[in-house]
Amino acid sequence: MSVAAVAADRSVCAPLPVLGRDVRVPLVTGGEVDYAALDYAASAPALQRVWDDVAAYAPYYGSVHRGAGYLSQLSTDLFENSRRTIADFLGCRADDQVVFTRSTTDSLNLLAAALPQDTRVFVFETEHHASLLPWERRADTAVTYLNAPRTPRQAVETLETALAERDPYGPALVCVTGASNVTGELWPVQELAAAAHAHGARIVLDAAQLVPHHPVDLAELDVDWVAFSGHKLYAPFGAGVLAGRADWLRDAAPYLAGGGASRKVSRRTDGGVDVEWQTTAARHEAGSPNVIGAYAIASACKALAEAGFPELIAREQELVDRVTAGLAEVPEVQVLSLFGADASRVGVLSFVVEGWNSSHFAAALSAEYGIGVRDGLFCAHPLVRTLLGSEPQDPGECGAPEAAPGERSLNAIRVSFGVGTPDEHVERFLRAVKELVTNGARWNYRTEDGRCVPDRA
């Protein structure tokens, strides 16, 4: 292939424009650089397309499902059309519901509240806290925590064994991630869904880290529900989605009691009230909805679909390969993995550096190179502790390691990227890692409120 052809090919796979791509940040060593946002797994920058769509709608903002005026009608249409757009994006089945929530965490807590009585939940210890913790909040729900598998096949076998041995045999739910927020590794969702259904269980997919990188089709994956957040999908904060089977949601008490969730409210002769609740998604959407959040998610779905996932995946894989190969050139760097070096992954990698506290290393990347990464336990404490070979009782908090720079601490560094990441950000990151390992930090750092920060005294 000629140089011109290569350049043309790369232009086809160019990143989608995102907000913040031209933001300049100061360096402690002097000067400024373009900020390299490599923390997409925490919150991806909003697509420029999404921001433009939201800005275009803003002057027409009106109440939803509440008014006869033109702006209210327009906003209601926009809100419900956004629901349909997201349903199409997710490959929802005809009788599925799309419920708008605040986030993945909110979506999974909603589903936990909607479980039939005496449901047994099966969840791997490798899950993000959003999908690990909601299930035990009800006294009638029993939770089985499954050990971290070391291969995708082992994950399926572990689940099959646990489901087959459950007693008594009743309603069951499996909760699994699509892509790890720590390692980026892809999980065998279709195989896990088949195992769940073969044993009479349902399955919910935590797609927070999957849906920004790969197409998610409920019907094709054969999952019962999917949950994700807008702020992972290149939309602004504040909105999420729970999509899937309607029956458990329809039969459950409303997640919140209030206007919109109720169809009819009347006084009883004894002085109380009778309530007839909605049976649609509105049942769990009480209060004035976040129409801008819903529209932003729908806009992001359209942008990704129009850009074409095959092209986006191919370019992201180039970046994954480049980062993996670059880190492998530094013997002091250990990349964390459950399934091994050859496992398929999205643009999320976590690592530790020999001789470095991860908070110190991340602080130096930011202060001396203008690179934003994440350090800590990534709200997946059991998984990171397993990967680091530590005992469950070892100390450590998500994003707030207790040890001072240079001391051993239970934390790691995560680099993550996506459709808005230019090549230069990845190249600068790899250069910075090599320079810090070889030459050390050029600045002094101290611990402040549990974090490592430049010492400006």
| Catalytic sites, residue numbers | 379
Residue 416 vs residues 303, 399, 400: alpha-carbon distances, Å:
20, 15, 19
Please choose, from the candidates 144, 95, 149, the residue with its C-alpha nearest in 3D space to the C-alpha of residue 122: 144
* Partners of 357 in the β-ladder: none
User: Residue 46 carries which side chain, given as an amino acid letter?
Assistant: A
Rg (CA), the chain: 23
Residue 3 vs residues 7, 9, 360: alpha-carbon distances, Å:
6, 10, 41
Sign of CA dihedral 213, 372, 150, 228: negative
- For residue 422, give both structure tokens: 């230019």
- For residue 137, give both structure tokens: 């909040």
420, 238, 299, 216 alpha-carbon torsion, rounded to 10°: 80
Cβ 311 vs Cβ 385: under 8 Å: no
User: Which contiguous run of DSSP H or E holds residue 159?
Assistant: helix 152-164
The rounded distance, in Å, linking the Cα atoms of 97 and 389 is 41
- For residue 451, give both structure tokens: 């974090």
Cβ 332 vs Cβ 355: under 8 Å: yes
How many helices and strands in the chain, by DSSP H and E? 14, 19
375, 380, 383, 388 alpha-carbon torsion, rounded to 10°: 20
Please choose, from the candidates 327, 365, 392, 341, the residue with its C-alpha nearest in 3D space to the C-alpha of residue 125: 392
- For residue 60, give both structure tokens: 């027409």
Backbone angles phi, psi at 72, to 5 degrees: -65, -40
376-379 contacts at long range (C-beta below 8 A, 24 or more positions apart) = 376/400, 376/401, 376/411, 376/412, 377/410, 377/411, 377/412, 378/41, 378/128, 378/181, 378/182, 378/350, 378/412, 378/414, 379/128, 379/129, 379/130, 379/181
Burial (CB count within 10 angstroms: exposed 0-12, middle 13-18, buried 19+), residue 55: exposed
